[in-house]
Amino acid sequence: MASTSDIKNGLCINHKGKLVQIIEFQHVKPGKGPAFVRTKLKNIETGRVVDHTFPSGHKIDIVRIENRPYQYLYKEADGFHFMQTSTYEQVFINKNLVEKPEFLKEEDICTIIYHADEEIPLVVVIPLFIEATVTYTEPGIKGDTATNTMKPATIDTGAEIRVPLFINIGDKIKVDTSKGIYSERVKS
């Protein structure tokens, strides 16, 4: 077992029966009282972030995880099929393990986080940015570019996002999948 002196960013631990990843930490040595470690923990399964304080020297249970690249193949009613690019092995992942599935595009390279000791997939992380084609949006008004006004648009993955007025049907755009927002127009 490890202790709080082994804590570092990105470390995955078993905390209160749940797998969490340490996002940030700070060792604190107050003038009075014992030292402690203040952390932000992200639940791997739900994505929820919580603050937690460990007393200095507290024992922690480190969990070994592996990030493996997989290519997204296709969707079924209750999940998604992925293929490991080096071995061509296909895996089926339940839909509740995929973050932001509305932005998945066929052939995208995603990262599947595995519990290394038990060989269990924990979560699928999609690419931070994707290029998509606008399949539907209302036409913009010519010359109305001075304001930051946004309009709804549907992209080729089926997701609906907000785009600037100058974007039209057929335009290629870059989408920030972490926030689900328009990033920029892609030059072709």
DSSP assignment of the chain = -EEGGG--TT-EEEETTEEEEEEEEEEE--SSS--EEEEEEEETTT--EEEEEEETT-EEEE--EEEEEEEEEEEETTEEEEEETTT--EEEEEGGGBSSGGG--TT-EEEEEEETTTTEEEEEE--SEEEEEEEEEPPPPTT--SS--EEEEEETTS-EEEEETT--TT-EEEEETTTTEEEEEPP-
Give the number of domains in the chain.
3
Q: pLDDT at residue 146 above 70?
A: no
Give residue 82's pLDDT: 94
Percent of the chain surpassing pLDDT 70? 95
Q: Show which of 85, 109, 125 is a domain's final residue.
A: 125
Round the average pLDDT of the chain to a whole number and report it: 88
What pLDDT shows up at residue 3? 86
pLDDT band at 144 (very low <50, low <70, confident <90, very high): low
pLDDT given at position 48? 85
Confidence of residue 42 (pLDDT cuts 50, 70, 90): confident
Of the residues 125, 140, 157, the one at which a domain ends: 125
Range 172-187 average pLDDT: 90
Whichever domain contains 138, its CATH number is: 2.40.50.140
pLDDT for the residue 92: 93
For residue 178, pLDDT beyond 90? no
Domain closes at, from 125, 152, 170: 125
Cα 29 from Cα 35, distance rounded (Å): 4
Neighbours of 68 (CB within 10 A): 16
Find the domain containing 82 and state its range: 65-125
Residues 156 and 172 in one domain: yes
pLDDT single digits (tens) 49-64 = 899 999 988 999 998 8
Contact at 8 Å (CB) between 82 and 71? yes
For residues 109 and 139, which has the higher predicted lDDT (pLDDT)?
109
Please indicate, yes or no, whether residues 108 and 157 belong to a single structural domain of this protein: no
The pLDDT of residue 145 is 61
Identify the pLDDT of residue 172. 93
Where does the pLDDT of residue 142 fall: very low under 50, low under 70, confident under 90, or very high at 90 and above?
low
Quick one: pLDDT band at residue 98, thresholds 50, 70, 90? Answer: confident
Q: Are residues 55 and 76 in the same domain?
A: no
Kindly state whether residues 54 and 9 are assigned to the same domain: yes
Residues 47 and 89 in one domain: no
Predicted structure pTM score: 0.76
Query: Is the pLDDT score of 83 beyond 90?
Result: yes
User: What pLDDT does residue 100 have?
Assistant: 86
Tell whether 34 and 77 lie within a shared domain.
no
In this structure, are 113 and 72 located in the same domain? yes
Identify the CATH number of the domain in which residue 47 sits: 2.30.30.30
